[in-house]
Amino acid sequence: MTKPREKTREELQAEIEDGKKKIRQFENREKVLRQKLSQEERRTRSHRLIVRGAVFESIVPEAKNMSDEEAAALLRFALTSELVREYLKKRAENGNAE
């Protein structure tokens, strides 16, 4: 069996540079994928907020004429009732909470 030839200094240096180039490519690819994930998460959140806002306005048509502060106060008032608190507690205990 013959011993494989040892690589020259230039070959080793070229291999190192090639490895560094691949690392940069993978890092750039990771950056692009993270940006896409972030965009998708923002899109999903925006969609959820729009849908929930539409549900709120369909249930409380007067909300269309309320300021943001008034709508928030209405929700706080409505959600502090004992019935709602019990519902939310049971929901959390059953593992239905996100």
9-45 pLDDT per residue, tens: 999 999 999 999 999 999 999 999 999 999 999 999 9
Residue 97 has pLDDT above 90, yes or no: no
The confidence score (pLDDT) of residue 75 equals: 92
pTM: 0.65
- 3-state DSSP call for residue 96? coil
The confidence score (pLDDT) of residue 65 equals: 95
Helix (H) or strand (E) segment spanning residue 46: helix 9-59
The confidence score (pLDDT) of residue 45 equals: 98
